Amino acid sequence: MPRPRKASAPSLPAASVESSPDPVVANVPEAMAAAIEDFGNVLTLERGRSSHTLSGYESDLRQGAAWLAACRGVRDWREVTTAQARDWLYSLGGDRFAVASLARKLSALRGFARHLVREEIRPDDFTALLQGPKRVRRVPGTLTGGEIGRLLAAPQGGDAFALRDRALLELFYSSGLRVSELAGLTLQQVDLDNGFLRVFGKGAKERVVPVGGRAAEALGAYLVAGRPAFVKSRTGSALFLSERGGPLSRKTLWVIVQKYAAKAGIERGVKPHQLRHSFASHLLGGGADLRSIQEMLGHANLATTQIYTAVEDKRLVEQHAKFHPRNRE
């Protein structure tokens, strides 16, 4: 198949071509489905991608295959043209998908197209001339020091639930974990004697994350007097346990954070990942360097961590406006 002529990279507008068929209902041609499955095996076995990433990529690619089959009559990935791929992405425009979702779908398609070239299924990358929607990085929402203090103090008492929830919130803020990382922690990953966790983040990459003094104290109390109360006959090595003895789900973590945010009198909505953002923002405000924060957060690129400088810049502007004498009436 000849390589497409180089031209200006087409961007993805908001306009729609055809509405995309439901990827669950639509039939994906057998050859296209088999290629997607092979790509999934490569992601899992050779590149160590997480099941979450794999599921998202496969879902996006199956959706694209279903649309190409239904709307363009394509039966094999070797038939797909750049124009057809662009048409599918156009069809997702408007208000149906957020910019981040569109960017993820294009990322999945690009990775898959490169896989087809490597496997010599195609001679060319049909996504080379595609240009995705521009992603505007939003400044992460963070909590103030006072709000964090009230939130962490909200779990009161010495019962197993209070001990668990206090340790969970302290560790969340102390170590800046992702929700999935916190939910997936095991006893083997915790080293309280040396004050750190071994965390397996995106792509199964391991990193060492410090545990602060108060978090270590709360976690120690939970391990001694809290966790044993949740242990059942089939309980595994999960660190934070539910009432049934299994690991806490991400949904339950969300409910716990919401519960104590309300109890702490924080009127604005609080989401679990705001503790991670607050961790990074407060470290930066306290003088920590970006490279160290990057390592603790597990960001692959420093550019991802630099978004927190915008939070700090905003705080400095607000402090100047509030306290500089020439800004007062």
Q: 3-class DSSP state for residue 7?
A: coil
State the burial class of residue 155 (Cβ atoms within 10 Å of its Cβ: 0-12, 13-18, 19+).
buried
CA atoms within 13 A on the CB side of 68: 26
49 is catalytic: no
- Which residue out of 164, 276, 277, 282 is catalytically annotated? 276
CA 8, 13, 15, 20 torsion: positive or negative? positive
Judge whether 320 counts as a catalytic residue: no
Residue among 166, 178, 227, 282 flagged as catalytic:
178
Which residues fall within 8 angstroms of residue 51, CB to CB, at 6 or more apart? 44
The one catalytic residue among 75, 110, 198, 202: 202
What is the number of helices (H) and of strands (E) in the chain?
Answer: 13, 3
Judge whether 259 counts as a catalytic residue: no
d(CA 263, CA 165): 13
Would you call 105 a catalytic residue per the annotation? no
Give residue for tokens 């497409």: 4
- CA-to-CA distance for 22 and 67, rounded, in angstroms? 8
Contact 4, 128 (CB under 8 A): yes
- The residue from 173, 222, 260, 308 that is catalytic is 308
Residue 123: burial class (beta carbons within 10 Å; 0-12, 13-18, 19+)? exposed
Task: State the alpha helices, DSSP H only, in the chain.
Answer: 30-45, 51-72, 82-91, 99-118, 145-153, 160-175, 179-183, 213-221, 250-263, 273-285, 290-297, 302-305, 307-323
b/e 55-74 (16+ beta carbons within 10 angstroms → b): ebbbebbbbbbbbbbbbbeb
State how far Cα 48 lies from the chain centre: 16
User: Residue 231, Cα to own-chain centre: how many angstroms?
Assistant: 29
**Residues acting as catalytic residues:** 178, 202, 273, 276, 299, 308
